[in-house]
Amino acid sequence: MRKLRMGMVGGGIGSFIGDVHRKAAAIDGMIELVCGAFSSSAEKSKESGKALFLPEERCYADFEEMILAEKQLSDGERMDFIAITTPNYLHFAPAKLALQNGFHVVCDKPMTLNVEEAKELVTLLEQTGLLFALTHNYTGHPMVRQAKAMVAHGDIGKIRKIQVQYLQGWMAAPVEKIEGPKDFWRIDPAKSGLGGALGDIGTHAENLTEFITGLKITELAADLGRFGEGRVLDDDGNVLLRMENGAKGTMSFSQIAAGEENNLAIRVYGEKGSLEWHQENPNELITRWLNEPKKIFTPNGNGLYPEAALISRIPSGHPEGYLEAFATVYHGFANHLMAILAGKIPHKPVYPTVYDGLRGLQFISAAVQSDSNNAAWTKL
């Protein structure tokens, strides 16, 4: 066996999320970065590649050049997959071209600009049989896996109530006016899509909810806010949820929640008990019970299901964080791909896929539609 070879789209030096993808791919020693189209210009791309210790000839001007050039390389050299770390509007095209040329894909979320593009990627996946990982990184926390396993094993009984939130404060001030609009592709509908905070962090809340509960959101009532002066896209949202099993809930997300950093949290209430998890303190799963005291689970601690224990890298009491969870998505993807390359029967993905991506776009679309109808109930 050998390490898997990754090519990057976007993620030039200085990019937050590109750096995260690189570190996450590197931690477990299964993946090496071999090429990239890191920036909007060939020159900048080469600069970034140099800083990343890549040979100049594998730093490409754009993703088309990269995909076509790499396709010509020998089996022993050619990249295995691309990692797409560009703004939202630049996800679909490279993903599509990669799939059409036989490359697997790791892609940031939201997957595309709209539901139609998302469906096209689903179709392509099903046609090609290639792999597609969507970096809903929060699914990679051991305590999120424990939560999911506890629900699946019926520990808390039938779910009745959900509270989920993702609160940030970095857009509470008019940052786009202070720092200049050019850096703020997130507030531009052409680059970000229909949703602002909705697409950027609302989709994480939606994905986490469905991941842990194993339940689909069937309808929602969304009251979006646009608090920053002149903003066209939402920077805040308050949503009522109804789940396929009759459970109800609230979702709250915001980028104007002054002072919040990344306060993603979820509470799930069943008939027998309940679960609580906070992204900013991810190594605790708080559980409450009808007749027992509160119990707190920790990664590699006592009483875990194998699903959680398997993805804890270090002994209990040594915190894992954002990068490790992100790396777990890459790890699941790499394991899957290695198994296929080794000719083994491919297992079911344990990482978010193109279907999660489609689901995210449907969520964005429903929320925007609901909001434009004064928060009327809207089906997903």
Within 93-132, the residues that bind its own copies by CB under 8 A are none
Shortest CB 144 distance to its own copies, Å: 13
Determine, following the binding rule CB under 8 A, whether residue 307 of this chain makes contact with its own copies. no
- Residues 6 or more apart whose CB falls under 8 angstroms from that of 90 comprise 9, 10, 84
Q: Is 67 helix (H, G, I), strand (E, B) or coil?
A: helix
Virtual torsion, Cα 121, 124, 130, 135, nearest 10 deg: 0
Minimum gap (Å) between residue 39 Cβ and its own copies:
17
Alpha-carbon distance 181 to 178, whole Å? 8
Please give the residues from 15 up to 74 whose contact with its own copies meets the rule CB under 8 A.
Answer: 16, 19-20, 22-23, 26-29, 33, 52-53
317 and 331 Cβ atoms separated by less than 8 Å: no
274: contact with its own copies by CB under 8 A:
yes
Choose, by CB under 8 A, the member of 315, 342, 343, 345 that binds its own copies.
315
Minimum CB separation from its own copies for residue 2, in Å? 6
Q: Specify the stretch interacting with its own copies by CB under 8 A; choose among 63-71, 109-117, 261-269, 345-353.
A: 261-269
Instruction: State in angstroms the smallest separation of the CB of 246 from its own copies.
Output: 8
The one segment of 66-74, 202-210, 255-263, 345-353 that binds its own copies by CB under 8 A = 255-263
Tokens of 30: 């299964």
- The reply to whether 343 sits near its own copies by the rule CB under 8 A is no
Nearer residue to its own copies within complex by CB, 11 or 110? 11
Site for its own copies in 73-92 (CB under 8 A): none
Running DSSP on this structure, what letter comes out for residue 345?
Answer: P
Sheet holding 248-254, edge to edge: 285-289, 273-278, 263-270, 159-167, 248-254, 236-243, 217-225, 378-379
Site for its own copies in 125-164 (CB under 8 A): 156-157, 160-161, 163
Assess 201 for contact with its own copies (CB under 8 A). Answer: no
Angle ∠(7,8,11) on CA atoms, nearest 5: 160
DSSP string, 84-130: E-S-GGGTHHHHHHHHHTT-EEEE-SS-SSSHHHHHHHHHHHHHH--
Which of 18, 249, 357, 360 is the binder for its own copies (CB under 8 A)? Answer: 249
**Is there a contact between 148 and 211 (Cβ–Cβ < 8 Å)?**
yes
Choosing from 40, 114, 128, 316, the residue that interacts with its own copies (CB under 8 A) is 316
The least CB distance from residue 132 to its own copies, in Å, is 24
Q: Is 280 one of the binding residues for its own copies (CB under 8 A)?
A: yes
Burial class (CB in 10 A: 0-12, 13-18, 19+), 19: middle
